[in-house]
């Protein structure tokens, strides 16, 4: 496909509420723009708008939207960026494609949504990323399938096992499995200061599973987001660099984003993951890489499109539109 290839039809984005979009950096927003520019009619709904009644097909209350030209970076907050049409209840199978772009947490409600989307698939809907693949690749667990590229990692509810892992690796990171944007991440250094309290906070007396990883000193050079689209790596990544005393590079936690070409190591990682994940129905994946280690495999709503495009001149949203068009031909 080329950038001029049309994508006619109706495309439904299942995403967070439109009023929460930060359009100067939102990846879903530029996806919508890219599809609309190729002729697509864009619709939006939230997972709570999807329903399945016995004897009926899966439907959703959707809002058709027409996106306006992207506002300038210095445009006043609240500048309108779309025009809303008339809401309607429509069958998901009648859309050209359904794009699941709901941000984490990856919790029970998210999983229920994927089951509804799986039923819509059985009825004929084309859903990206595929719902079964979303369920089978929780973002902080999926990397363990690729141990060559993962740092030493433990997933457990057992506080004794966490303490033993810390004793072995000395300097560790603890985080909840359902977090996003750097929320709930703690570092425990060799002195073990506050380890017990952090365990209690995260695993709630054994009720919540925790991920523990050996600390990667290369974080000072950035937590790199590498995008895989249609089984191919985007040739640039976004290094999210912690600021001040922070250990988190996440942009949501105040990290500074610096786009860079992929290194030889990055290419090796991307090429190892990309074909396997694409074959499982994951059209879009975001790998989080520190040094030469993958710390997360993001499949729910990977981001960083705008930052890479703005800094490197490589239009990530257009690459995504190309890949989506190719997938729809199959």
Going along the chain from its start, the domains and CATH numbers come out as 9-130 (3.40.50.20), 152-215 (3.30.1490.20), 218-315 (3.30.470.20)
Conformational region of residue 235, where left means phi above 0, alpha means psi within -120 to 50, and beta covers everything else: alpha
The region that residue 222 occupies, defined by phi over 0 for left and psi between -120 and 50 for alpha, beta otherwise, is: left
Question: Catalytic one among 38, 41, 101, 140?
Answer: 140
Q: Could you tell me which of 31, 42, 51, 136 has the C-alpha nearest to residue 92? A: 51
Q: Which of 121, 139, 178, 296 is catalytic?
A: 296
**Interacting residues of 184 by C-beta distance below 8 A, sequence separation 6+:** 175, 176, 202
Beta strands in the chain (DSSP E): 9-15, 40-45, 50-51, 59-67, 82-84, 88-91, 97-101, 127-128, 153-156, 172-176, 186-188, 210-214, 223-229, 232-241, 256-261, 284-290, 293-298
Is 70 noted as a catalytic residue in this protein? Answer: no
> What pLDDT is recorded for position 178?
81
307 part of the active site? no
Residue 225 — φ and ψ, nearest 5°? -100, 115
DSSP state of 255: P
Helix (H, G, I), strand (E, B) or coil at 82: strand
**Catalytic residue (one of 248, 266, 318, 319):** 248
Of the listed 288, 307, 318, 322, which one is catalytic?
288
Distance of alpha carbon 307 from alpha carbon 329, whole angstroms: 29
Alpha-helical regions (H) of the chain: 27-37, 108-122, 131-136, 159-169, 195-203, 264-279, 305-312, 316-329
Distance of CA 239 to the CA centre of its chain: 16
Catalytic residue from among 41, 240, 293, 319? 240
163 catalytic, yes or no?
no
Q: ∠31-277-10 over CA atoms, to 5°? A: 30
Q: Is the peptide bond before 201 cis (omega within 30 degrees of 0)?
A: no
Told to judge if 288 belongs to the known catalytic residues of this protein, a careful annotator would answer yes
DSSP code, position 260:
E
Q: Residue 104 has what pLDDT?
A: 87
Q: Considering the candidates 59, 101, 102, 225, report the single residue annotated as catalytic.
A: 225
Per-residue pLDDT of the chain (330 residues; tens, 9 = 90+): 444 678 999 999 999 999 999 999 999 999 999 999 999 999 999 999 999 999 999 999 999 999 998 888 888 888 899 999 999 999 999 999 999 999 988 889 999 999 999 999 999 999 999 999 999 998 889 999 999 999 999 999 999 999 999 999 999 999 998 877 778 899 999 999 999 999 999 998 889 999 999 999 999 999 999 999 999 999 999 999 988 878 877 777 788 999 999 999 999 999 999 999 999 999 999 999 999 999 999 999 999 999 999 999 999 999 999 999 999 999
140 catalytic per annotation: yes
Active site residue 296: yes
pLDDT confidence of residue 261 = 98
Respond yes or no: is residue 129 known to be catalytic: no
**CA Rg value for the chain:** 20
The reported pLDDT for the residue numbered 2 is: 44
- 61 in catalytic set: no
pLDDT digit string, tens, across residues 71-101: 888 888 888 999 999 999 999 999 999 999 9
Q: Would you state the pLDDT for residue 4?
A: 60
Identify the active-site residue in 101, 175, 293, 319. 175
């Amino acid at each position: 496909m080329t950038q001029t290839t049309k994508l006619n039809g109706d495309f439904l984005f299942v995403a967070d509420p439109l009023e929460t979009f930060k359009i100067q950096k939102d990846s879903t927003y530029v996806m919508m723009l890219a599809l609309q520019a190729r002729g697509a009619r864009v619709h939006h709904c939230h997972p709570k708008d999807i329903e399945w009644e016995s004897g009926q097909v899966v439907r959703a209350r959707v809002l058709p939207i027409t996106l306006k030209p992207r506002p300038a970076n210095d445009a006043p907050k609240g500048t309108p960026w779309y025009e809303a049409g008339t809401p309607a209840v429509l069958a998901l199978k009648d859309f050209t494609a359904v794009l699941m772009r709901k941000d984490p947490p990856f919790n029970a409600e998210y999983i229920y949504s994927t089951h509804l989307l799986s039923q819509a698939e059985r009825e004929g809907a084309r859903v990206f990323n595929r719902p079964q693949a979303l369920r089978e690749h929780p973002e902080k667990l999926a990397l363990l399938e690729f141990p060559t590229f993962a740092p030493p990692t433990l997933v457990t509810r057992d506080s004794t096992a966490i303490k033993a892992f810390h004793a072995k690796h000395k300097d560790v990171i603890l985080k909840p499995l359902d977090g996003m944007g750097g929320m709930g991440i703690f570092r425990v250094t060799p002195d073990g200061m506050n380890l017990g309290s952090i365990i209690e906070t995260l695993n709630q007396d054994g009720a919540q599973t925790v991920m523990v990883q050996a600390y990667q000193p290369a974080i000072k050079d950035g937590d790199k987001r590498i995008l895989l689209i249609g089984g191919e790596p985007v040739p640039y990544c976004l290094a999210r660099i912690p600021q001040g005393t922070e250990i988190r590079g996440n942009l949501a936690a105040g990290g500074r984003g610096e786009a860079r070409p992929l290194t030889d190591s990055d290419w090796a990682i991307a090429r190892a993951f990309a074909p396997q994940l694409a074959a499982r129905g994951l059209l879009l994946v975001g790998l989080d890489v520190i040094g030469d280690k993958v710390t997360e495999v993001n499949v729910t709503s990977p981001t960083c499109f705008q930052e890479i495009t703005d800094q490197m001149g490589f239009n990530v949203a257009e690459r995504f539109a190309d890949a989506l068009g190719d997938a729809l031909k199959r």
